[in-house]
Amino acid sequence: MRRTPALVVLLALTLLVALLTSSAGTARAAAQPAADTDCAPLALAPFGDPGDAIGKATVAPEGSACFTVAVTEPGLHLVSLDDSHNEAHRQVYAADGTEVDCYGSEFATQGMCDLAAAGTYTVKVSNSGWEDEDTAVSVVPLGSTRGCADGTGTGWDLPTVSRTSVTPVEVDCQPFDAKPGERIRLTHGTKVYGEDVAWITDGSGSRICPHFPEDGEDSCVLPGDGPYRVLSQVSGGEKGFPAEFAVKVRRLNDPQGCRTAPVRPYGPLEQQDFTTNPCHTFTAGKAGSYLVHAVDQDGNTGPVRVYDASGRTVCWAEDPCRIPDAGTYTAVLDGSYPYPGSPQGLIVLDRASDSGCVATGMGLHKGELSSAGQYDCLTLSAPRGASVAALTPLSSAGVHAEVEVLDRDGTAQCDAEKLANGDCALTGTAPYRALVHTDDGGEDATGTYAVDFRRTDAESDCPALPAGSFADGGAKATLATGDGVFAHCLSIPAGAHTGTEVFQLIATSGGVAAKFSVVDSTGRKVCDRFATTNGWTVCGLTPGKAHTVLVTGRDQAATYTLTRRDVTASADSAGCARTAAAKVGGPSVTGAYDTPGTLRCHQVTTGAATDVVHIDVRDALGTANIAVLGGDGTVECSFRNRSCAATGSTTHQVLVQTPVNLKAAPEYHLDALRIAGADGPAPECTRVPSVAYGYGPITGTLDESHTAVCAVLPTAGFDHFDAEITDTTGTSTTAVPALYNSSWTNGCSLYIPSGYRCSSGGSSAGSSPSVFVLGLPEKASSTSYSARLACSSVLCGPDRVDVTAISPTTAVGGTKPTLTITGTALSTGATVRLSKSGSTLTAKTLSVSADNRTVTASLT
């Protein structure tokens, strides 16, 4: 449509008003892309404060604004955008309307555009959000030097220069003196928490160093001819703008301005020279493992990054640092933050050196770490092949000492954990040295320490730990700590132990936790127990070998008893009462209980190792747990408050305990019922023909003379049941189910508040028969029960048929037809139950085709 003269006048007046009422560089919002003549002019911005060279616009939702910029020198330009809600985006168009690719380089900074020809370009800002966007843009020619800061060097002793960015669209330039091929480390950041980006460039403005340096390096070998600059931009800060920031460029090859640090002897450190200069150089006399640590005035220490003479990384804050060759190396103590931190010093120790080491024998050694970062070196008298322990207090008034053992060449032999357990086997080349230090800082970095060294592979003067029993008054060892004593050792002669024993440590006074480990004469740890005031563990002892027991506590007044008791078939019958497994429905065994933590033992016997025994413990409080071990001491049921099945032995040792943090009932009841043998499930167990829809309900009564009932269920793998169990008298305590699969794992678990759920297990959907046991409640000695297992699947058991078709669908002539049921059956001899229009039809006979696909049922 041709414009009328009136319309042309109106448009001209509107444009004139817009130009008169807007400040220079401010654009009007437009609903559609505007022609160049409608866009506000925008001057190229210098580096640093852009001043008035910022285009600002409030852009409506789905709207846009535009600016024109005149480019006189072709090359890279950074078009920066700042918006209030992060919903705006920028586009740049050449004079002919083609869009400029501003995201072409993999390492380009966002908004970096190659404006390849001189001329006028249009910058368009669009709002894709739901509310107005306050936007600002700038265009900075990256190849220019206008506004760059004064040049700087790359020496490590130069001060960090802090500068200020006034707006997110500001770009800053820092020239630096460097030559091609030098390896430069760049760090940058805001003084308070903020976001920024920086890159090394030459005269082009492009990123000439990879965004991700090669091989994990944090530096760059300068390419090209220079001159070199760092371009940077602060995009956000915790306190907004203006934002203080810094960039720092330092040379790593032939570094200048670094402090020199010696390789020190072990032992007390001379006065540290703390400095904010993060660069230190040291000379390694030979290749090997070195400790290269920073230490600050607050006593904090840690490994630092180390570079070789070319500036490549040798160690990335590793401990120890493996130096490949003799020579001078550079250690840098700071990270990626450019501002200096607290003053620090450098500690370098040669792990292969014996300078400052002190000879010590087996036994107690006391020392002092008088300065943060100190390592003491103790030369041990143990020969190659020996096994040693280095015990330290679990806590103390002095430092928390860490100990490791090295050989003559500085090769690690054992860490603190192995030394604490006593299973440190010395290999490598003697003599061996223990290094003692602490990883703690502050006030905890200095103080006294104690280490108790022990041989665990040879006869020692450790007193014997006698064989105890579960009978009252059984033999035990009594130990005490305090007055400088925090550790004990005990010996077990080679011929004075069985294959499996239970060790129990009890704090009888002081309430101080202690731990123990048991090591055989070859130096192999056979068991241990973490720190406790009442704890036990089952320990498999090495046949024909002597053993050492190491007990470690604190240097505090406390007393303990340590016992070891046989838990194999040879267990003392006086303390581990023997009883034959009863048939299902037989009586329980009553046991008297003592204080929480006391271990009671019962030995359950059966006629054959193929017998399977259901074992459970019950008490009025529900706090007693059981562990079950076979004739050779193998753990058959782990320590828990749940029934289990044991097989494979004619004797089963049952340990009963109420945990020390719970209240104990005065007596408990032990159920030990034979539920299966070599010929299958026990005859007392009801044989159930089908569990397609579940099992039950069954009803009856249980008491201490008739403790359980059982059934053999034709389950399939992956069957799941909801156990619906009630007491018919209304009591809240109800009977407890167990469902054992072919591997005799109990598949029933209690879910609160819904009740028990049981699964048959199995590795496939095929037939997997189960034995169901319903026993007395946990906290009651009798119950009148009603129990049902409801199949929670569509159908359960191997007799289920997944029906796909039934033919015929209706009866003919009033007769009862033979139905052909097409589907999948898991086994022959199954029962089919069909329901139609509310009537239930039960199959009288059933046959399954050879391919288990077609099922034919004759109905009555």
pLDDT digits (tens, 9 = 90+) for 321-340: 999 999 999 999 998 999 99
pLDDT at 764: 75
pLDDT at 760: 92
- Answer yes or no: are the C-beta atoms of 603 and 615 closer than 8 Å: no
pLDDT at 842: 45
Task: Indicate whether 32 pLDDT > 70.
Answer: no
Question: Cα separations (Å) of 531 from 505, 513, 525?
Answer: 10, 5, 17
pLDDT at 107: 62
pLDDT at 20: 31
Confidence of residue 754 (pLDDT cuts 50, 70, 90): confident
Task: Indicate whether 745 pLDDT > 50.
Answer: yes
Share of the chain above pLDDT 70, in %: 88
pLDDT at 723: 97
Q: How far apart are CA 579 and CA 603, in angstroms?
A: 6
pLDDT at 834: 44
30 or 590: which leads in pLDDT: 590
Task: Indicate whether 55 pLDDT > 60.
Answer: yes
Pairing type for strands 582-583 and 667-677 reads parallel
pLDDT at 130: 92
Q: Render pLDDT for 129-150 as a digit per residue (tens, 0 to 9).
A: 899 999 999 999 999 999 999 9
pLDDT at 608: 97
Task: Indicate whether 429 pLDDT > 90.
Answer: yes
The least confident of 90-94, 525-529, 768-772, 839-843 is 839-843
Confidence of residue 855 (pLDDT cuts 50, 70, 90): low
Task: Indicate whether 411 pLDDT > 80.
Answer: yes
Task: Indicate whether 598 pLDDT > 70.
Answer: yes
pLDDT at 805: 62
pLDDT at 835: 38
Tokens of 91: 């586009």
844: left (phi over 0), alpha (psi -120 to 50) or beta: alpha
The least confident of 633-642, 760-769, 817-826, 845-854 is 845-854
Confidence of residue 717 (pLDDT cuts 50, 70, 90): confident
pLDDT at 472: 86
Task: Indicate whether 45 pLDDT > 80.
Answer: yes
- What mean pLDDT is reported for the chain? 88
pLDDT at 802: 54
Confidence of residue 13 (pLDDT cuts 50, 70, 90): very low
Spatial neighbors of 754 by CB under 8 A, at least 6 apart, are: 722
pLDDT at 197: 93
What's the half-sphere exposure (Cβ side, CA atoms, 13 Å) at 459?
Answer: 2
Q: Render pLDDT for 578-589 as a digit per residue (tens, 0 to 9).
A: 999 999 999 999
Q: What is the mean pLDDT of residues 735-764?
A: 92
Q: How far apart are CA 5 and CA 752, in angstroms?
A: 85
pLDDT at 2: 34
Confidence of residue 810 (pLDDT cuts 50, 70, 90): low
- Which residues are registered as beta bridge partners of 725? 787
pLDDT at 15: 30
Q: Is the pTM of this model over 0.85?
A: no
The least confident of 36-40, 208-212, 556-560 is 36-40
Task: Indicate whether 701 pLDDT > 50.
Answer: yes
Q: What is the mean pLDDT of residues 692-713?
A: 96
Tell me how crowded residue 266 is: count the other CB atoms within 10 A of its CB.
Answer: 24
653 or 8: which leads in pLDDT: 653
Strands (E), 510-642: 514-520, 525-532, 534-540, 547-552, 558-566, 576-580, 582-583, 589-592, 600-605, 612-619, 625-629, 635-640
According to DSSP, residue 19 is labeled H
Spatial neighbors of 383 by CB under 8 A, at least 6 apart, are: 426, 430
Tell me how crowded residue 169 is: count the other CB atoms within 10 A of its CB.
Answer: 26
Q: Render pLDDT for 386-401 as a digit per residue (tens, 0 to 9).
A: 999 999 999 877 789 9
The least confident of 104-118, 313-327, 674-688 is 104-118
286 or 3: which leads in pLDDT: 286
Q: Render pLDDT for 483-509 as a digit per residue (tens, 0 to 9).
A: 999 999 999 999 999 999 999 999 999
226 or 322: which leads in pLDDT: 322
pLDDT at 16: 29
Task: Indicate whether 69 pLDDT > 70.
Answer: yes
Confidence of residue 242 (pLDDT cuts 50, 70, 90): very high
Q: How far apart are CA 172 and CA 175, in angstroms?
A: 10
Tokens of 703: 């008491």
Confidence of residue 110 (pLDDT cuts 50, 70, 90): confident
Ranges 233-242, 323-332, 451-460, most confident: 323-332
Task: Indicate whether 832 pLDDT > 80.
Answer: no
Closest CA to 286 of 302, 263, 312, 269: 263
The 10 Å CB-count burial string (b at 16+, else e) for 212-229 is: ebeeebbbbbbeeebebb
